[in-house]
Amino acid sequence: MQREASNSEYRFADCLGKKVLITGGLGSGKTALLAKLLDEAINSKQGAKIAVIDMAPGERRIEFHIVGKTLRAYLKNLDLVQYKAPKNVYAPRLDGESKAHVEKLAVANANNFAALLEEFMDIPSKILFINDITLYLHRGELAKVFKVMSKCTTFIANGYRGKFPADDMGTGISRRERRLLDKLQKSMDIIIEL
């Protein structure tokens, strides 16, 4: 496994044929880097081979950071790839009003994302980009992610790694997110830590 320090100069060509995970805290630039790599992939005439699953909940402010941006906030050429995003994506730790509500939102995200993973497996692409995989890891099954990874030759995803400033209200989703992200990281060729 190759580890990379913070590196905004990382190129899509370096990721081709590899499994890549971009991690970092709030406002670290995970989505901006993923968008840059995706844009490079599209510009290298790979568009027809690319699928994108965008799980970002949409822009919001946490402390001094703007977080949750979708790839549509960065790129205007997503019509050149197979772009998929759930109709509704939640930020359970921010949107949840009680333990039961946080759990309900986390399960809804997992179900919505699992449906998109199934769609991908029915018609896989050689290259798969996933924005904000950690929202799925709150309640989704990691085995499904590994199955999807086996269907593509290039896998590039980003995920949150840090101490989240909002409480998960005792649901355990923050602990589970970290544990499953650690497991996912072990199967990567390249880890970019921002």
Phi, psi (degrees; rounded to nearest 5) at 19: -105, 120
Least confident of 61-65, 118-122, 166-170: 61-65
When pLDDT is averaged across residues 82-93 and rounded to a whole number, the result is: 95
Residue 6: its pLDDT value, please?
45
Measured from the Cβ of residue 48, the count of other Cβ atoms closer than 10 Å reads 12
Q: What pLDDT, on a 0 to 100 scale, did the predictor assign at position 9?
A: 77
pTM of the prediction?
0.93
Cα 105 to Cα 9, 93, 109, 140, distances in angstroms: 35, 9, 6, 12
**Rounded to whole angstroms, how far apart are CA atoms 30 and 130?**
11
> Would residue 173 count as lying in a domain?
no
Give the CATH number, domain containing residue 37. 3.40.50.300
Residue 143 vs residues 28, 31, 117, 172: alpha-carbon distances, Å? 28, 24, 11, 19
Write down the pLDDT at residue 5.
44
Average model confidence (pLDDT) for the chain? Answer: 92
Its domain, for residue 114, covers 25-161+183-193
Q: What does the pLDDT read at residue 2?
A: 52
Q: How many domains does the chain have?
A: 1
Q: Over the Cα atoms of the chain, what is R_g?
A: 15
Closest C-alpha among 136, 69, 129 to residue 108: 136
Query: Phi and psi at residue 37, in whole multiples of 5°?
Result: -65, -40
